[in-house]
Structure 1
């Protein structure tokens, strides 16, 4: 559409609305899109009180325009633009070409200038032009706009070209600088490498000289060592002879029995024959996933069925070297798991029944009787001592019905020892002075017997009772001991024998062997005690249901899929393969597991009153690392950890407020939903070992029990 040559008088347009006036302008100027967009040259007055654009052309058809009035109201006089806006576009230049949209000036301004068509620049519609809009030659000739080819247009294109050239030159200069910098770096690197090469050559020559010198010294030391070894060998033989002589004396006179003599003097290992076994490292190449399959299949051959996830979980906890507590109803297979797993790995299980009257560590470990000068050991301590004698065999010591007595009374001190992860835990059973006293008394007795035997030339009598039957020797010994005729040397001999046996079989201190795992089995009923937060914080709780509720067909099908031909032999693990007592992994704020449980603690555990500390997260990191070695399902590991370490602490009044909701509502409406997001495949887990199913069960029970939340109910 081209422009129309229409001219109006003021009377013709005085009654038109702004919309009608705007439409008349668009028709006159050939504008079809309904917006008066123009381009022109922006300038500002010297006093910066007025600014506007001149040489105005339409953006749509590039036509020069003027107001369609008979009175002289040429648009080339300038279209007003606020000076403030103009200065932002000029950026210090005198003139620039811009493109903008026009709108009617204010009514009072149009009235003042007697021009209803008067336009001004619409605010925030202006932009500087980098290149001028294209227009054809005919337009230029017809409209006589040769004034556009002015110094301003030239400067516009010159500035653009100059800017481009400057940018290119700057880029080239930058490239040259970078090349020069790289050349200098390369030159420096070459010089440094040459210098380093010279240094290494010097060091190599010095090292060769040092090695030669050290070889000579080693040869001298080796000869000295061989001489010392030969000398020490002779001394050791003499020492052995001396010890053997004294030990034989003690044995002959029945101060020690043959078994103690063999174990402590001849270093004879106790006999404990082990069945033929498969080697975990050799047969399965250290693959724990295969080991779980084999153990499950082996137990099936023993008519014991456990789902795979129980074996996975239990083996991981064994390797974690923490206290394991198996919880469940009577007959749910807790102690059976301990015993059957021990057999499956060629280990030994010891089931220690806990008594309701246990109140201190003495009930667990025994105590020293000063009257008898003997330590009275318990079955638990005897199991530890036995495990020490067989360091290559795994021992699983289970405290059965652990919570018949208050665990924190009799087990807390022992549990504190188990917390030590960087050193071997050691327990002081009684004072070293007691054993020193017994040995001192024994030495005196032996000296007196030997003296009396020698004095009366009774070397042929090596039986204590027969020696005492000799009147001369008996009288001499009573005199030496300060005994009266009523005192019994036979009874005194028995006391010495008993005391000596006590300190030989029960040392004053005992280290918890690395081949020992401590496991607790608990029932929850009206006859038992709840576990305290201190115990829960340091243990892993593994809850059981009745084996009658298991889907045996699924388990049998699972085992059949492994394809083992022969599962008749236990699986032998080196003790280290069953887990080492090492420090827990460090807490790392950037670790995904640490972040997850830090957020859960802040948003849920703490508002619910659940104690959850950094040590628990570090225990979780350890569990996670070990579990992933036999099952790559990270969600399963996180689920198990929540079941072990978090849910057992849920014991509180759900009706109490926590923020704007009750604790029970926080569990049901927020925590459950959050865990579903954290563990998206939760529905694939067994309900027995699902943290979400466990949480929902507690919620349902609480609603039926006046809002009381109790994991153990």
Structure 2
């Protein structure tokens, strides 16, 4: 049987109400009971685990149906079904025959597909078939494989073969059981006796082993307590020495109260976790649950983000790579940094970038040889603060990062971030400078110490009073080559300032493990584009205006979560937010590696888009982390293409590349390839879909004389 030949013009039906559209479907498909009841085969896409309904026929009459309008994607290309339901129906099988009811897809989907009749499986209507609903007229005697469609024929043959095999196996198993039953009964008692004897022997051995281990543990405990006592005595001796020197420096005003306290008192800086929800304890270390909790927590703070944004951002945070948030002003870039930091009990530092930044000194500061002091920047101060609070996650955001050329002021620091084998260290100034200051201070202290023993009253003498002594004054000038015109009081101030500089800013600093670097950029005529070097090492996460967000969808997402209270932030250890480990190795037989080697050969290289081994290894790292939050392999690949591929699309589309110009290569070859690769792209928000992103690039290029520019 075949479907009716009724075909409507798109212009005739595009604005019809749903009731009229249903009626025309009923007329076209011979439906008289007001329900589109069909049966068909659920199949997985060979490139991913996306499931759709194929080979669809009506239950009443077994009619093969198709859309009564010319559509880009016909019903033979598969009908959408809720993926959770589809996978439950499939179980461990790759295919399954089901019966269900169809309904018109949501208006947005019909508009997107340019098909007013587009249908999908009605939720709750699908059930797996035990047998196919064929009537007697559909079955012809004789060689049925010539008359019944191949898939149906194979279905019955498969079921019959399975039944025969199962019956044969059951009979053979029963015979074998009867044959060995007698032997099993006779040997059972003997085996039981042997087992009992073996268990008794092992129990005796275990008892002896426990006794031995307890004695070893007792000896180790005593040794540990002895070492602890010895270490405590050494620490106390060291503290006493430091305290004595610190009191001396403070007495003569070489250090202030804050520096003195850092010497004398052991400052314990830890996170206050009492009013936080434990990720490992309450959520069992489940990153999917963490995303749900963070989204719900932010909603309580009147901050709304779709789930996929939090999934993506948390994955990027855990990757320890540079993250660049791109979007219009007011699209929520810095808000995401600040609100996420608050949600996980961390701290955010927003560092504005100035247009006149031209070198790493603008980012990290510089050593002033005249003042013998390092002049730190807010960015460096944030790194030092993070180093002093190693248990607190720090999210440092370079706001409006591209007001200046990023490769000028950030390239050196970015090269440090690339070090995945150890803890990157930044040399701020020469160790010789600090050694010189300390040497000079040591000489001053030596002279003052000698004078103090002679002139001290009640154990205290201040610097000014000592300098009023002619003998001490003369000795200081002789030791340091001062003339009568030089001021020792001014020299004292210089020493104090230099010492404070060394204490506050060390000559080198390691990038703390609790720091994540994020950039926020706007793209307009006042800013600079990101260079290929930056794009190759960073992940670009693009934003749209929050006014375009579907807030109802966010509320619906959060309503499905089962949390009694989301008023407290989530406590995540620094390690739970990602370690700086080497990227996974490239493996030629890995599916992801094979895919992007192929894409690079067929598309990226002909388009002159740089795509190297580092990028693929970054992708492997991202993929492994993302699967802990979302099981969709396609979503991970989609995100990776958005982050690492599309931002590099800036070239003249009119130039020839093989048989196509570059713009045609995008539209006629790469776009269909991505549509085939990301089969679920229609269910992904347009601004986070690589397919929709590429379409937008193509349309913009067509209206801009063929110039391809992702950032336009």
TM-score (norm 1): 0.67
- Structure 1 residue aligned with 2:120: none
Q: How far apart in 2 are the matches of 1:464 and 1:292?
A: 59
Q: Give the superposition deviation at 1:301.
A: 1.1
Q: Give the superposition deviation at 1:664.
A: 0.5
- Structure 2 residue aligned with 1:315: 314
Query: Is it true that 1:361 corresponds to 2:360 in the alignment?
Result: yes
Alignment length (residue pairs): 505
Change (3 A) 1:216 1:444: farther
- Structure 2 residue aligned with 1:600: 599
Change (3 A) 1:231 1:647: closer
Q: Give the superposition deviation at 1:462.
A: 3.1
3-state SS, counterpart of residue 580 of structure 2: coil
Q: Give the superposition deviation at 1:225.
A: 8.4
Change (3 A) 1:390 1:235: closer
Query: Is it true that 1:294 corresponds to 2:276 in the alignment?
Result: no
- Structure 1 residue aligned with 2:679: 680
Q: How far apart in 1 are the matches of 2:450 and 2:433?
A: 26
- Structure 2 residue aligned with 1:487: 486
8 Å Cα contact 1:650-1:710 kept in structure 2: yes
- Structure 2 residue aligned with 1:645: 644
- Structure 1 residue aligned with 2:658: 659
Change (3 A) 1:694 1:370: same
Q: How far apart in 2 are the matches of 1:505 and 1:659?
A: 60
- Structure 2 residue aligned with 1:569: 568
8 Å Cα contact 2:398-2:518 kept in structure 1: yes
Q: Give the superposition deviation at 1:454.
A: 2.0
8 Å Cα contact 2:428-2:508 kept in structure 1: yes
Q: What pairs up with 1:505-584 in 2 under 5 angstroms?
A: 505-584=504-583
Q: What pairs up with 1:386-405 in 2 under 5 angstroms?
A: 386-405=385-404
Q: What pairs up with 1:133-144 in 2 under 5 angstroms?
A: none
3-state SS, counterpart of residue 608 of structure 1: coil
Q: Give the superposition deviation at 1:215.
A: 12
Q: How far apart in 2 are the matches of 1:237 and 1:286?
A: 40
Q: How far apart in 2 are the matches of 1:463 and 1:324?
A: 53
Q: Give the superposition deviation at 1:610.
A: 0.8
8 Å Cα contact 1:655-1:664 kept in structure 2: yes
Q: Give the superposition deviation at 1:476.
A: 4.8
Per-residue CA distance 1:340-383 (angstroms, 9 max, x = gap): 10000110000001111111111110111111111111100000
- Structure 1 residue aligned with 2:110: none
3-state SS, counterpart of residue 429 of structure 2: coil
Q: How far apart in 1 are the matches of 2:486 and 2:458?
A: 25
Per-residue CA distance 1:585-642 (angstroms, 9 max, x = gap): 1111111111111111111111111111111111111111111101111111100000
Change (3 A) 1:480 1:592: closer
Change (3 A) 1:688 1:500: same
Q: How far apart in 1 are the matches of 2:221 and 2:329?
A: 65
Q: How far apart in 2 are the matches of 1:680 and 1:229?
A: 62
3-state SS, counterpart of residue 420 of structure 1: coil
Q: How far apart in 2 are the matches of 1:387 and 1:659?
A: 52
8 Å Cα contact 2:270-2:389 kept in structure 1: no
Change (3 A) 1:312 1:455: same
- Structure 2 residue aligned with 1:335: 334
8 Å Cα contact 2:270-2:392 kept in structure 1: no
- Structure 2 residue aligned with 1:145: none
Q: Give the superposition deviation at 1:246.
A: 1.3
- Structure 2 residue aligned with 1:269: 268
User: Which deviates more from structure 2 when the two are superposed, residues 366-375 or residues 385-394?
Assistant: 366-375
Q: Give the superposition deviation at 1:478.
A: 3.8
Change (3 A) 1:341 1:229: closer
Per-residue CA distance 1:503-540 (angstroms, 9 max, x = gap): 11111111100100000000111111110000000000
Q: CA RMSD in A?
A: 2.6
Q: Give the superposition deviation at 1:484.
A: 3.2
User: Which deviates more from structure 2 when the two are superposed, residues 299-308 or residues 468-477?
Assistant: 468-477
Q: What pairs up with 1:602-641 in 2 under 5 angstroms?
A: 602-641=601-640
- Structure 1 residue aligned with 2:408: 409
Q: How far apart in 1 are the matches of 2:228 and 2:319?
A: 42
Q: How far apart in 2 are the matches of 1:268 and 1:335?
A: 32
Q: How far apart in 2 are the matches of 1:300 and 1:538?
A: 32
8 Å Cα contact 2:402-2:528 kept in structure 1: yes
Q: Give the superposition deviation at 1:232.
A: 6.0
8 Å Cα contact 1:326-1:522 kept in structure 2: yes
- Structure 1 residue aligned with 2:81: none
User: Considering only CA atoms, is the larger Rg found in Structure 1 or Structure 2?
Assistant: 1
- Structure 2 residue aligned with 1:156: none
Q: How far apart in 1 are the matches of 2:285 and 2:270?
A: 29
8 Å Cα contact 1:640-1:689 kept in structure 2: yes
3-state SS, counterpart of residue 399 of structure 1: strand
- Structure 1 residue aligned with 2:19: none
Per-residue CA distance 1:118-150 (angstroms, 9 max, x = gap): xxxxxxxxxxxxxxxxxxxxxxxxxxxxxxxxx
Q: How far apart in 2 are the matches of 1:330 and 1:494?
A: 46
3-state SS, counterpart of residue 245 of structure 1: helix
3-state SS, counterpart of residue 281 of structure 1: coil
8 Å Cα contact 2:393-2:574 kept in structure 1: yes
Q: How far apart in 1 are the matches of 2:355 and 2:334?
A: 19
Q: Give the superposition deviation at 1:303.
A: 1.1
3-state SS, counterpart of residue 607 of structure 1: coil
User: Which deviates more from structure 2 when the two are superposed, residues 482-491 or residues 629-638?
Assistant: 482-491
8 Å Cα contact 2:271-2:392 kept in structure 1: no
3-state SS, counterpart of residue 603 of structure 1: helix
Q: How far apart in 2 are the matches of 1:236 and 1:563?
A: 50
Change (3 A) 1:258 1:274: farther
Q: Give the superposition deviation at 1:327.
A: 0.3
Change (3 A) 1:215 1:520: same
Query: Is it true that 1:453 corresponds to 2:466 in the alignment?
Result: no
Q: Give the superposition deviation at 1:455.
A: 2.9
Q: Give the superposition deviation at 1:257.
A: 1.6
Q: Give the superposition deviation at 1:465.
A: 3.0
3-state SS, counterpart of residue 521 of structure 1: strand
Q: How far apart in 1 are the matches of 2:434 and 2:271?
A: 29
8 Å Cα contact 1:452-1:477 kept in structure 2: no
- Structure 2 residue aligned with 1:497: 496
Change (3 A) 1:272 1:378: farther
TM-score (norm 2): 0.67
Q: How far apart in 2 are the matches of 1:435 and 1:640?
A: 47
- Structure 2 residue aligned with 1:171: none
Q: What pairs up with 1:45-64 in 2 under 5 angstroms?
A: none
8 Å Cα contact 2:698-2:708 kept in structure 1: yes
3-state SS, counterpart of residue 283 of structure 1: coil
Gaps in structure 1 of 5+ consecutive residues: 1-204
Q: Give the superposition deviation at 1:459.
A: 5.7
Change (3 A) 1:231 1:424: closer
Per-residue CA distance 1:405-455 (angstroms, 9 max, x = gap): 110111111111101111111111111111111110110111111112223
